[in-house]
Chain A
């Protein structure tokens, strides 16, 4: 523990940790020192001078070192008469800080007057209006008059695109450099900088494409004025007109806490999401979120959404039917095919949906299957992250192994936090066949060939060397594993090897230790916990079934299987996917924003999201459909809201026994303190008032886990160019494809190869080629990337070329 220091701020005695800045100490005491450039998560620069305070220090005798006392016995305090910046001065014993003196107030007025000399009178049309630090502070401290003539205001560019997602208004900028520092320090994408000097200084981006970062949206939260705004929210609504609903991001397994700001749309009369903002959770996403989570929200109000149940009529066409009829059709068909039911689910369903679907499947003695290319959900339940883990606490003494995944593309927030841990001194080992962005921060980089993932990890167990020793000797150890370039079987072996490594090195069953799966969906881990498991051969499993319930999965679109005709196929979907188009019955379901429920993140933290929007059309939640189906089939189903389901889950799932609604909604004290009344301190991040969730304990905390050592399968794939699947953040998945704002950022190419390979065949960047995979041919666009190993073609998932594991491929010119 660090030393404590006691000081006085405005007649309040405060005891805080040594090393804190005065502004942070004041915040803890409940005193707001106004700031523009300071942010508790960024390095202080002391640029804006808004936090100037009067600081007095106790006097000591030069000879004896003793405190000089006043006549009444209190220490004599010396004020230098010069104001100091509270954001750069660390606290000291006996310090006296005055934040309200006449001199301080006067200096604040002067600074504001100075800033306003070149700040336009834009408040009525500015999207920041209502949550702008400059507006608030001017209201609190500013003068109503200025000594500078209005006509002399400097006029600079307005509404300039600073990248595809962010808009810059140069004259609103007050040069606090928060955005520049965020990009450099936190996101490690130093793409922003100042250009010019003095009052003309403005923000420029020097990347190509401009502002090329997955984190650009965060700069708009940090911006204390309306200089940086998102294109998504431009002139959409005023801040005070919107409702705020706490929610969980449904795009990746991190489970970022978000707030959905909603407002009625005048054209449709429907409530729609206007913007998505991060909500503080220091255990999950701190104050940040990635651009995919922030901008890919329009799918919920997409015109393409299914709004009515569709049934196949006698002519073979899908036609709308009523819910009563739809449930009747489903019940009749499920009754007439009593055996061999398969329920296939995707990871976008909530725990409540999954529990109810599992109940239905069990009642019909069917098989509950999860659609996931990543294996090992059983292992993460056994040797997963210990309860109480916070990636933010990791630093020196921790070893982190990231294997077979490109974290920034697959789970951006984990990338951010692992990178920060490495910067705090954690040993980072990155194992990947190609260079990823995390390599920059890695202490050790393990390169292997595609297909040798498991052997690489097994070598860490059996062989001696610097890397195995570093991992073994570290006090804490955790592994994040993905499925880059792997099929389900190899992924199973890899997860087994990772779990073995953790057990052998005694990194299980403790806080800050364990295994994390980088899942394809937000709730894949929850689906494993609810009893859904992936099949080794999913196509075989689906072909063998007589009736199928597919919820939130698209096996045909993913290329797992081509034809599902001849069976009773019931699909519960948001959109008319390729699988839904073949279905006998399509039931429209609510998007996660339209229902409440819980998701289990990759760190096995169960978090609750609440209803933000009314359902589109006649959509029902997946669990409501399952209940209706079960009841019409004469099964005993639990009926009610998601809260009742959650209670049932806690009773029946041993892992989830510790959950209660109260525990999920509990908000412990978090630092930095986010205060909706003092936005200048943390920016426009939402305060967490509805719970940080509960992390589940892995089995290893109770019993010793003994696993069989996996042996890597010796499959030969033949010779030639190897095509492997990888995951990209901005792919063409339906959830982002329907969000127009992200369109310029989406990747358009389907293949990524090394420039040397391209040279040999005479291809250049973005040329059209023909790819032969097995007996299938695809026309595709290529992208050149020197980080790809030679002789390998990377095929991003959800880009139209289905590939569920490494396969030999032939590239030829397009015909």
Chain B
């Protein structure tokens, strides 16, 4: 037997060693959907509409998100708040809010345009649909849930308490 042939046997063992070694390594496979991989902090997933601590919606129906949207995925129909039926602070709220997630390109411009930080791109990435209609996310689907059912909107509030649509900002610039 020539010496080069012996070297080839050595190669086989080297390969087998790699196999053997990896048997003791931690696996990289994540058992999705049982196990979910954490995303980066600035990951832009599906939107959510936020609430204030008292349960009032942050969204004031200004439609600036719709104006900023490059793919025209957002549709907002505003309406008037009253103290008997208050959805958000100030005069105006979104009576109808819809995002067409088939159009959305997750650029986050809506988030930037929002004057009340009501719309936020969350870390939700499970966005598969069986039906096209499921891709239209209406206000009911987008709104954050409330911790206490009494805090759900519309609320009946004291008159004159929530007169400002835009929250007071310390340093607006």
Contact = CB atoms under 8 A, between A and B. Distances in A.
A159 interface: yes
Contact of B90 (A123, A125, A129, A266): A125
A437 interface: no
Contacts of B79: 235
A426 to B, nearest CB: 46
Contact of B63 (A122, A144, A158, A238): A238
Contacts of A810: none
B173 A124 contact: no
A446 B92 CA distance: 54
Given A145-B173, A240-B67, A125 B60 contact: yes
B115 A124 contact: yes
Contacts, number: 53
Interface in A109-126: 121-125
B115 A238 contact: no
Interface in B57-108: 60-64, 66-67, 75, 77-80, 90-92, 96, 98
B168 interface: yes
Given A159-B91, A241-B66, A266 B168 contact: no
A240 B90 CA distance: 22
A236 B78 CA distance: 7
Contact of A121 (B61, B80, B166): B166
Contacts of B91: 125, 158-159, 235
A129 B169 CA distance: 20
Given A159-B91, A235-B61, A235-B80, A124 B165 contact: yes
Helix, strand, loop or mixed for chain B's interface?
loop
A644 interface: no
A237 B75 CA distance: 11
B172 interface: yes
A511 interface: no
A271 interface: no
Q: Which of A150, A238, A240 has the most CB of B within 10 A?
A: A238
B163 interface: yes
A124 B64 contact: yes
Contacts of B163: 155, 158
B96 A266 contact: yes
Contacts of B90: 125
Contacts of A237: 63
Nearest to A130: B67
Interface residues of A, number: 22
A151 B116 CA distance: 18
Given A125-B92, A125-B165, A235-B79, A144 B67 contact: no
Nearest to A124: B62
A235 B66 contact: no
Contacts of B172: 121, 150
Contacts of A238: 62-63, 66-67
Contacts of B78: 125, 235-236
Interface string A246-288: 0000000000000000000011000000000000000000000
Contacts of A756: none
| Most central of B64, B92, B168 by chain A CB within 10 Å | B92
A166 B77 CA distance: 21
Contacts of A567: none
Contacts of A122: 165-166
B62 A266 contact: no
Interface in A378-404: none
A124 B173 CA distance: 16
A237 B63 CA distance: 9
Contact of B173 (A125, A144, A151, A158): A144
Contacts of B64: 124
Contacts of A144: 173
A234 interface: yes
A369 to B, nearest CB: 46
B71 to A, nearest CB: 15
Residue from A144, A155, A266 whose CB has the most chain B CB atoms within 10 Å: A266
Interface string A412-451: 0000000000000000000000000000000000000000
A225 to B, nearest CB: 16
Contact of A125 (B62, B66, B96): B62
B21 to A, nearest CB: 60
Interface in B139-173: 163, 165-166, 168-169, 172-173
Nearest to B116: A124
A129 B64 CA distance: 10
Q: Which of B60, B66, B91 has the most CB of A within 10 A?
A: B91
A237 B77 CA distance: 7
Nearest to B169: A150
B80 A266 contact: no
Interface of A: 121-125, 129, 144-145, 150-151, 155, 158-159, 234-238, 240-241, 266-267
Given A241-B67, A267-B96, 9 more contacts: A124-B115, A124-B165, A124-B166, A125-B165, A129-B62, A144-B173, A235-B78, A238-B62, A238-B67
12 contacts: A122-B166, A124-B64, A124-B115, A125-B60, A125-B165, A144-B173, A151-B168, A158-B91, A238-B63, A238-B67, A266-B96, A266-B98
Interface of B: 60-64, 66-67, 75, 77-80, 90-92, 96, 98, 115-116, 163, 165-166, 168-169, 172-173
